[in-house]
A and B are shown apart, each in its own frame.
Chain A
């Protein structure tokens, strides 16, 4: 029982991170009908931005290895008083990383995706693969190919729960922040004027233009929003497991994308649900079956869902236009 509870907690925590990334996939798919393969790599950039910001702000590294030359140089340049590890520090680092990645998302959209929007969707897809490869290979050049150790942004400790399970304070923080971000996203999408415009654009681009919506701007905004969430996920992952590398986005991105499809692509609550399901199933497989099969889980679920309910769990059945 306690194993089950423990795996469930781990699964929800992991799933929350998948959900955050899946939201970006689903929103971009909603407005552009594009599988943004580069999204997982934006998540990776988010984690690295968190790393450099934390070091730059002078947060003491968790491990000695984490005290990289970069951190020391940055600290020397800034010369300001060191930030003590605390939740506030974590929040500052995360918000800054989110802002940087939002800008990155907008730049990617503007420079790579907008020029190919008038061509076939296949062209856009290949462009997305190109951007993904660029971020992965560029990341290896800029950040270095070796894994880096993320500094401890706040003191982690285990909290014992009833039933013998325990939860790490990092997981608590991950869950609270993820939940807050998702509530925030709901408010933006369903309560704000821009969110209404986003929904209009994703339903019918042409009608949205006729409303006077500058659809280019809404699409850019969607990329900013999705990329910011991915960056948050990147920082949160690094808080849980402080080892980051330039290729960390590939598999996680793919699974998050599967989560988006699982929930019904283009559907925001669906992406949240899909992420949680993938996260929980994955940890259960690791706990009860074999860790070596964990990477197959997401795809096996995906295949089953698509074969029996192609529109995803919460998606509406798309009608073929004749």
Chain B
């Protein structure tokens, strides 16, 4: 579904990604783990067109998408819940969700999708008239995920959904990821919480200072002694 072939990305003179190759197949949950500054967010931004690759190709469903404007990629079925959640604090919860469905002109579908988001995260329904800026961190994360789903993506990119959340909320978020997956949406998950990420994904890539250093089935990586030492703290 999505493949990156030898992609390199620069911030000014600094190379943030170096010769990355990876793929995400239809129906999979793939996770990208790594330390701060390893290039995880850069990878997602490149896929969504927020950054332009300097070299290499980004292919989505057989077509080159590297450097295409973001709004066109959203229309093609890629959606992203950004790091730090990026909800519109000055808009209400309901308006945030409506923004997620910006490209959808069918009011009926939007209403259905909103119901689905409320079903997945009942807390959002209670707070739908509230400004998003007044929500707690966990609620904002739910809103960001719910909003990302409103565009009916085929590929959902999640950037650090568990960052800074209480363990109980983290649990809710990963349950939601399982639920989204069960409905057939492909997910690329970026996480620092390697333990949870490996437990809820099929395959994984390990990113270190802009390069992919390991890849394989999540179960296998979770048992790898190097991963255990570096990312699972065992």
Q: Which A residues have a C-beta under 8 Å from some C-beta of B? A: 193, 196-197, 199-200, 203-204, 206-215
With both beta carbons as reference points, the residue of chain A lying nearest to B87 in the complex is identified as A207
With both beta carbons as reference points, the residue of chain A lying nearest to B151 in the complex is identified as A212
In the complex, which of the residues B50, B71, B89 contacts A212, with contact meaning CB atoms closer than 8 Å?
A: B71
B95 contacts across to A, CB distance below 8 A = 196
User: Which B42-75 residues have C-beta < 8 A from chain A?
Assistant: 48-50, 69-71, 74-75
Known A196-B99, A197-B99, A215-B71; judge A210-B89 contact (CB<8 A).
no
B102 at the interface (CB under 8 A from A): yes
Known A211-B74, A212-B74; judge A206-B82 contact (CB<8 A).
yes
Known A213-B102, A214-B69; judge A196-B75 contact (CB<8 A).
no
8 interchain residue pairs of minimum CB distance: A212-B74, A207-B86, A209-B70, A212-B103, A214-B71, A211-B102, A211-B99, A203-B88
Q: Among the interface residues B50, B99, B103, which one has the most CB atoms of the partner chain A within 10 A?
A: B99
Whole-angstrom CA separation of A105 from B78 in the bound complex: 33
B90 at the interface (CB under 8 A from A): yes
User: Which B145-202 residues have C-beta < 8 A from chain A?
Assistant: 147-148, 151
With both beta carbons as reference points, the residue of chain B lying nearest to A209 in the complex is identified as B70
B48 contacts across to A, CB distance below 8 A = 209-210
Q: How far is the CB of B65 from chain A (nearest CB, A)?
A: 14
Q: Which B residues have a C-beta under 8 Å from some C-beta of A? A: 48-50, 69-71, 74-75, 79-80, 82, 86-91, 95, 98-100, 102-103, 147-148, 151
Pairs A–B under 8 Å by Cβ, sample size 14: A193-B98, A197-B99, A197-B102, A203-B90, A204-B86, A204-B88, A206-B50, A206-B86, A207-B87, A209-B49, A209-B71, A210-B48, A210-B50, A213-B102
A210 contacts across to B, CB distance below 8 A = 48, 50, 70, 74, 79-80, 82, 86, 148
With both beta carbons as reference points, the residue of chain A lying nearest to B144 in the complex is identified as A207
Whole-angstrom CA separation of A234 from B232 in the bound complex: 66
Known A206-B50, A211-B151; judge A199-B90 contact (CB<8 A).
yes
Whole-angstrom CA separation of A210 from B79 in the bound complex: 7
Q: How far is the CB of B62 from chain A (nearest CB, A)?
A: 21
Whole-angstrom CA separation of A292 from B53 in the bound complex: 59
Whole-angstrom CA separation of A203 from B103 in the bound complex: 19
Whole-angstrom CA separation of A8 from B54 in the bound complex: 61
Q: How far is the CB of B22 from chain A (nearest CB, A)?
A: 21
Known A210-B48, A210-B74, A212-B103; judge A200-B88 contact (CB<8 A).
yes
A204 contacts across to B, CB distance below 8 A = 86, 88
A211 contacts across to B, CB distance below 8 A = 74, 99-100, 102, 147, 151
The reply to whether B89 and A203 form a contact with Cβ atoms under 8 Å apart is yes
Whole-angstrom CA separation of A211 from B104 in the bound complex: 11
B75 contacts across to A, CB distance below 8 A = 212
Known A206-B50, A211-B102; judge A199-B91 contact (CB<8 A).
yes
The reply to whether A199 and B103 form a contact with Cβ atoms under 8 Å apart is no
Whole-angstrom CA separation of A168 from B80 in the bound complex: 57
With both beta carbons as reference points, the residue of chain B lying nearest to A207 in the complex is identified as B86
Whole-angstrom CA separation of A215 from B99 in the bound complex: 13
With both beta carbons as reference points, the residue of chain B lying nearest to A215 in the complex is identified as B71
